[in-house]
Amino acid sequence: MMQNIFDTHAHYCSRQFDADRGELMAALPAGGVAGVLECATHSGDAPRVLELARSQPFVYAALGIHPESIIEEDAATVAVYHGDWRAELDAMRPLYEDGRVVAVGEIGLDHHWPVPRQAQLELFEAQLQLAAELDLPVSVHDREAHAEMYELLRRYKPRGVLHCYSGSAEDAVWLTGQGMYLGFGGAVTYRGAKRAARVLAAIEPRWAVLETDCPYMAPEPVRGRRNDSRNIAHVADYIAGIWQMEPQAVLDLTAANARECFQIV
Residue stretches of the annotated binding site: 9, 11, 106, 141, 163, 213
H or E element at residue 175: helix 169-177
Cβ-count burial of 97 within 10 angstroms (0-12 exposed, 13-18 middle, 19+ buried)? exposed
Please state, in angstroms and rounded to a whole number, the distance separating the CA atoms of residues 144 and 167.
9
How many other CB atoms are found less than 10 A from the CB of residue 70? 20
Question: Count of CB atoms within 10 A of residue 199's CB?
Answer: 26
Nearest to 199 by CA among 235, 241, 238, 168: 168
User: If residue 22 lies in a helix (H) or strand (E), which one and from where to where?
Assistant: helix 21-27
Which residue positions form the known binding site for a divalent metal cation?
Answer: 9, 11, 106, 141, 163, 213
Pairing of strands 138-143, 101-110: parallel
**Residue 132: CA atoms inside 13 Å, Cβ hemisphere, count?**
11
Residues whose CB is less than 8 angstroms from the CB of residue 233 and which lie 6 or more positions away in sequence, other chains included:
1, 2, 5, 32, 247, 251
Sign of CA dihedral 79, 81, 83, 86: negative
| Residues forming a β-bridge with 208 | 182
Q: Tell me which residue of 174, 214, 197 sits closest to 5, measured CA to CA.
A: 214
13-45 burial by CB neighbour count: b if 16+ within 10 A, else e? bbeebeeebeebbeebeebbbbbbbbbbbbbbb
